[in-house]
Amino acid sequence: MNVLIWNEHRHEQQNEEVAKIYPDGIHGAIKEFLETDDIHVETATLDEPNHGITEERLAKTDVMLWWGGHLAHHEVADEVVEQVHQRVMEGMGLIVLHSGHFSKIFKKLMGTGCDLKWREADETERMWVVNPSHPIVEGIGEFIEIEKEEMYGEHFDIPAPDELVLLSWFEGGEVFRSGCTYRRGHGKVFYFRPGHEAYPTYYHKDVQRVIQNAVRWAKPTDRTFSSYGNAKALENIKPKS
């Protein structure tokens, strides 16, 4: 199974505090806990040619992770977004992390504005499991508690998720749909809220477990691609007057 982690990777280079938390970048931290004997992980970042995303690389990717949609996101080429979208239609899984809610690829897949409320105030987040049989929360207790996180609050301008898995409580008074699955084309999409760059969220064991589970859940289903267009009748059609 081939996984590609895409990270904007600007915060880590521009902000010393972030660099201390994620010395190898957020993508490096995620790679660390994702790689196993049967999962091969590569990474790509904004400043690489073509943002590190070639058609060849996409073609062999089973599941892609996407971090970033705020700081430098206007620099992401529309052409690359089209390529990623096409691969999701073909079956590639996509895990959209945190600020990726505002990425071009997530907006294109959702068809809505994807806006929300936010606040940086070192506040406690508690993500409650509301879909107890979902494989994405295997090994997770009743909730995941994160001592300090950025707040994302409702209304979150997304389509109703196909499956709502996690709901966040925030100390400052808001709630948020934090773990949402979608099927788009032949691909599976999971949005997972936590992961602000200023906090060590990706070292949290439960956050890691959810992402590990999500990658396995999102892997392509082995089927021939659908055929579209003009189709011959499978049964006789009676002549009409």
| Binding positions for a copy of itself, 178-197, rule CB under 8 A | 182-188
The least CB distance from residue 47 to a copy of itself, in Å, is 28
Among 91, 179, 194, 195, binds a copy of itself (CB under 8 A): 91
Q: Let me know the angle formed at the C-alpha of 44 by 193 and 117, rounded to the nearest 5 degrees.
A: 25
Among 49, 74, 78, 231, binds a copy of itself (CB under 8 A): 231
How many residues form the binding site for a copy of itself (CB under 8 A)?
81
Position 58 contacts a copy of itself (CB under 8 A): no
Place of tokens 């494989």: 135
Binding range to a copy of itself, per CB under 8 A, among 12-20, 61-69, 162-170, 190-198:
162-170
Q: What string marks each residue from 110 to 139 as x (binds a copy of itself by CB under 8 A) or -?
A: xxxx-xxxxx-xxxx-x-xxxxxxxx-xxx
The least CB distance from residue 84 to a copy of itself, in Å, is 12
Residues 98, 103, 105, 107, CA torsion sign: positive
Nearer to a copy of itself, 28 or 124 (CB): 124
Q: Smallest Cα–Cα separation from 97: which of 139, 69, 77? A: 69
Q: Smallest Cα–Cα separation from 198: which of 5, 47, 19? A: 19
Position 20 contacts a copy of itself (CB under 8 A): no
Q: How far apart are CA 130 and CA 166, in angstroms?
A: 6
77, 94, 124, 125, 140 from 197: Cα distances, Å: 23, 20, 16, 15, 23
Binding range to a copy of itself, per CB under 8 A, among 26-34, 53-61, 67-75, 223-231:
223-231
* Residues whose CB is less than 8 angstroms from the CB of residue 222 and which lie 6 or more positions away in sequence, other chains included: none
